[in-house]
Structures are given as structure tokens and as C-alpha cells.
A and B are shown apart, each in its own frame.
Chain A
Amino acid sequence: MIGLLRAELLRAWSRRVVRVLAIAVAVSIVVSLAIATYNVSRHSGETAYEAARQDCLSGNLVPKDKLPPRYHGDLAAYCADRVRPEYYGVSQWRWADLPEGLTSGTSSIVVLLGVLLGATLSGADWTAGTMGTLLTWEPRRVRVHLVRLLVTIVAVLVFTLATQLFLIGVYRVAIAISGTTAGTPPNMVWHLLQIIARVAVVAAAFGVVAHAVATLGRSTVAALGVLFGYLIVIEGFLAGLWTAIQPRLLIRAAEVAISKQPLLDQHVSSQVGPNGVIVGQFQRVVLSVAGAWVVLGVWVVVLTAVALLVFRARDVN
């Protein structure tokens, strides 16, 4: 078992596509942030912004005990939201913007990297015809499948965590060159770590799904074609035409799991008081955060089980 695991790790590490992807991702991050940093210029509104921020932090804008509930008494977080540099003509990188940038900006790309890695780590053996060779060394197919799956999960987790940490590191350099750490909430690092962990786990889940599809289709290209076709076209159609199915869709579940924002019903429901007066309005939760993880888990478990059963029973040529 350990020998097989070492062999699969060596194989994954030896794959050129992994190294090419790593270099491409690193270069893309550095180049895009360098260009963006070059374009960001400091403006004279910085002093005004800093004065307004201090004013807010001293409670002059809203006293701490009257903050909206969602800030849980965190005045710094409230001020980061309400007093933004761009309102004062300050155009610069803000360290405080990083969590939002990670969740809404780059997570989808990181998850797609997981899909790509999952598909290629599974499909390469079928494309090269080496699965038969491997099975003449380790004929226990369940073991082979699970070890390969484990290696895929590890590879995706390591790759996506490293990608995000690298992005954060480069962003930190950009902040040092042309940015500000003003308005950074005190628990920012912990918050960031939680986000990149969630993104990496969701990417690993998508990697497992891609691994299963590549096993069923016995090809990397087929897996990528089927998955992208499904995720982009079919889920898009389903989400638009049949809203009730939205909580069961992979992309919706991934969005909710990463952002920790539940999926809400588009229709606003009203609560009517005894005298017929609307006393409150609310949106029904269609998919909770916990529910999103369950949906992702079901996708992963079902597809893995199907792929394993097929792999166990099928002839290998």
C-alpha cells in the first residue's frame, strides 16, 4: 500500500503538466499583479480618507453599540466597509480587500485547477495505456483506485493551497509597493486561512469528481469535455430553467461553501402582522452553508463509488 502510494506520488510529481501548471499559475499571478500595481496610482485623497477613517473608528459616525448586527460590535470591520479609500479618491491596493478578492475573484480559477489536476492525474494512465502495466504490479483494483484518489486529493490540496499562498504573498508585496493596510480587521489572517482552506477543499472535491469522470471515460480529454460541458452548459441551463434544483447543483454548492453565504430564494417573502400590515420581509434560505457541504459530499461519494465499481468490474486493455 505504501509502495503504491509512493509510486503514485512519484508519478504525479513527475508529470510535466503539474510543473507547467505551477509555472503558468505563478507567472500569471506575478504578471497580472505587477501590471495592476503599475496602474494603481496614489492620490491626494489619502489624507482625507485617513481622517474619515479615524473619525469612524472613534465612533463619531456610528457608536459602537449601535452597529448593525452583522458586524457583531466590530467597529473596525464596519469602518472598513463604510469608509473606503475609493470614496476619497484614493486608488490603491487594500490589504483588507484580499478576503473578498480571494472568495469572489480567484476561487473559481483555483477550483478549475483542481478539475484539471484531477482529470489529468486519473486520465493519463488510460491515455498512455499504463493502467494495464500498473495492474500487473498491483492487481487489487480497489486499492489502486483509492490510492490514486488519495494522491489526487493530496496533489490538488497542495497545489491550490500553494497557489493561494503565493497569490497572497505577491499581493502583500504589491501592498508594500503601492497599497495600504489601513482598515485591516484584527482577525484578518485567521479569516484568510479559513478562506483558502475552504477554496482548497472545494477544489479537491471538484478534483475527485474529475478523477471519477476520467476513470469512467478512461481519458483526460473526455473528462474535461464532459465536466466543463456539464458545469458550464448543463448546470447553467438547469439553474435558469428549474430553480428548484439549484440547491443540488455543484457550482451553487461550491459558491455557498466558499463564500459561507447561504443561497437565498430570489423572491422576497413578507411577514404580515395581525392587522394586515407587513411587519417584516425575509428571503428563504434555499441552500445553507452546511447543506452546501453535504451536497458536495454526496457528489463526491456517489461519483467515486460509481467509478470504483466500474473500474473494479471492467476489462483493462
Chain B
Amino acid sequence: MGVIEVEGLRKEYRRLRGGKTTAVDGLDLDVPEGGVFGFLGPNGAGKTTTIRCLLGLVRPSGGRTRLMGAEVPHGLAGVMGAVGSIVEQPALFPRFSGRRNLQILGRVGGQDDAAIERVLARVGLADRGGDAVRTYSLGMKQRLGIAAALLKDPALLILDEPANGLDPAGIVEVRELIRSLGNEGRTVFVSSHILSEVEQTADRVAIVARGRLITSGPVSEVLSAGRARGLLVKLADPAAGAVALNQAGIRSEVAGDVVRVDLPPDQGDRVTRTLAERGLYLSELRPDEVDLETVFLELTRDEGLGP
């Protein structure tokens, strides 16, 4: 049983001038327990709406959602104590201090002041906890939101674009935090459009577009579902190398200062032998790895959603 189960989720919004907009269109999702799960999709793909449906903030037009085995929304109260979340920008009282905001939430969940100090320290806000939230930078607000989500010591964390507004150092901090939370045995469900971040932190991903699931699975599987892998060869004269390989029946092309070879990575010996026989010696041979961004763009382009 997954900690998040979504079956045929639909959400339609009425337009002011009649008609309906479909934000989520029959989405299926199964998030297993433990680890980091990346939830990817272009703007307007329905990621935030899906998260809102999961948390009971938005009533679905159809379908079924379960959170930690509890039906949403009726069973939410029983599991919400183990679910921490941020939806879009963390919404907190701007005139209250960060600490006071957490105290108010802590009263609801029964967390004491020691827990509040612990999460403030964990997100690096212990020194600024007494300042009004309106004086915080966007990144600090984001970290305070993460602190609020961590306050329940949750088994499941749902983070909607947690790296929004963070500087590079903050992004690295959040990445490490998410990774460490995943390693602690918690389930971290993180939606993001920063694909490199998700690639580095997630164990599994789901890609959605136009409210539908495009693909889902372990990161390695999703990556291999992209275009075929090849090899990249670096040598003094890339053009001569490409000609030699093509003459030997190995399809290849010059790509900048390297030659891209259309062979599986485990056939690198054919490339080295062919080039050596023609007096060409390579300085580097490595797999042409497909990153998540490339896969994402290809998959969403296939759906007619890409750039």
C-alpha cells in the first residue's frame, strides 16, 4: 500500500464566463513508503491542485485519493498529525515572529517549545526566530515553511516547490535536508520544476502534464525511457573520428568538441578499437547520459506540451 494513492483524480474549475477548466484529468499516482518522490510537471500541469486535493483543501470533481491509507477528506483527521506540508508559498502571519507562527501551529498539534526550537535550528532560523516574518527574505520564509512542516515530526512530507525563492546555497541546503529526511525513513513527496534538484534527491519520480500522468517510476527507469543512450568520445580531431567511425559502420556525429556515437555504453571497446586501427587515439570515452530535464522535455513534447 502506498502512502499516497490517487485513482482517476479529476478537478474542474468553473470559469467566470461559463465553461470549465480541467486542472487534473484522471490522474493516477502511487507513492510508496520511504524515500524521496519527485512530482514533476510544467506550469499548469496540475501539481499544486493535486497536492491541494491530497490535503483536503480542494474538493475533487472525481476520483479517489488516499493519504497514508485514509480516505480524503473524511479520514484526513486521523492521519494529518503525521503529515507535514507546504503548499506553494508558506502562508504565515507576516506581523508575527517566526517563532510565534510556529507556536500557534504547535498548539494545534500539541508540540512544545522545545520542538519549535529544534525545527528552527534545523532550518537555520534559530537566530531570527524572534523577528517578524514580514522582515524575512523569500528564502527565509520558505525555510520557516519547511520548519512548520517538520514540526509534527511527520512520517510523510508534502512539499510544493520547496526551493522556490532560495539562493544557490539555500537550494543546496534544502536538497540536503530533503535527502536526509528521505534517508531517515520518511516519505518526502516533493513537487518541483527544478529538474536537476529532483534528479539529485529523488528515488522515484512521476511526470505529469495537463493533469495526466505521463510516466512514473524509479529515476533510473524514467531516464532510460528517454531517448537511447549513446557514447561520447573526445579526441584531438573530432571530425576525423566521426568519419572513421561512420566508415566502420558505426553511426556517429560531431557534437561540439566531442563525437556522439550511437552505440550502447557497453560497446565502448568497438569504438576504441576502430579509432586505434585508423591511428586516432581518444582522450575520453563516457556514456552519453540523459538527464531528467531532457527526458522531461521529450516526454512533454510528445504530449504536445513542450517548448
Contacts and interface: CB of A to CB of B under 8 A. Distances in A.
Contact of A128 (B80, B87, B91): B91
A66 interface: no
A130 B93 contact: yes
Interface string A296-317: 0000000000000000010111
A10 B107 contact: yes
A139 interface: yes
Contact of B108 (A7, A16, A313, A317): A7
Interface string B164-200: 0000000000000000000000000000000000000
A131 B106 CA distance: 15
Contact of B109 (A131, A137, A315, A316): A137
B94 interface: yes
A7 B105 contact: yes
Contacts of B118: none
B203 to A, nearest CB: 24
Interface residues of B, number: 32
A129 B141 CA distance: 14
B108 A4 contact: yes
B264 interface: no
Nearest to B100: A14
A139 B76 contact: yes
Contacts of B104: 7, 10-11, 14
A136 interface: yes
A6 B77 contact: no
A273 interface: no
A317 B89 CA distance: 11
Given A14-B100, A128-B92, A128-B93, A139 B107 contact: no
A135 B57 contact: yes
B201 interface: no
Interface in B77-123: 77, 80, 83, 85, 87, 89-96, 100, 103-110
Interface string A115-153: 000000000100011111111111110000000000000
Nearest to B76: A139
Contacts of B83: 136
Interface string B260-276: 00000000000000000
Nearest to B85: A136
Contact of B52 (A11, A130, A134, A317): A317
A139 B73 contact: yes
B80 A136 contact: yes
Contacts of A317: 52, 57-58
A316 B57 contact: yes
Contact of A138 (B90, B94, B95, B108): B108
Given A4-B108, A14-B100, A132-B57, A138 B92 contact: no
Interface in A13-50: 14, 16
B59 interface: yes
B6 interface: no
A3 B91 contact: no
B55 interface: yes
Given A7-B104, A14-B96, A316-B57, A139 B77 contact: yes
Interface string A194-209: 0000000000000000
Nearest to B96: A14
B109 A10 contact: no
A215 to B, nearest CB: 16
Nearest to A11: B104
Contacts of B109: 3, 137
B139 interface: no
Nearest to B81: A137
A4 B110 CA distance: 9
Contacts of A3: 107-110
A133 B80 contact: no
Contact of B59 (A136, A139, A313): A313
B91 A129 contact: yes
B245 interface: no
Contacts of A139: 55-56, 73, 76-77, 80
A133 B59 contact: no
A128 B94 contact: yes
Nearest to B149: A136
B119 to A, nearest CB: 14
Q: Which of B73, B108, B109 has the most CB of A within 10 A?
A: B108
A145 to B, nearest CB: 14
A248 B4 CA distance: 52
24 contacts: A7-B106, A10-B107, A11-B104, A14-B93, A14-B96, A14-B104, A16-B95, A128-B92, A129-B89, A129-B91, A130-B92, A132-B57, A133-B90, A134-B105, A134-B108, A135-B55, A136-B57, A136-B80, A136-B85, A136-B87, A138-B77, A140-B77, A315-B52, A315-B57
Interface of B: 52, 55-59, 73, 76-77, 80, 83, 85, 87, 89-96, 100, 103-110, 148, 152
| A-B pairs with lowest CB-CB distance, top 7 | A7-B107, A129-B91, A139-B76, A137-B108, A6-B107, A315-B58, A7-B108
Given A133-B105, A315-B52, 10 more contacts: A7-B106, A14-B93, A14-B96, A128-B91, A129-B91, A133-B148, A135-B57, A136-B87, A140-B77, A316-B57
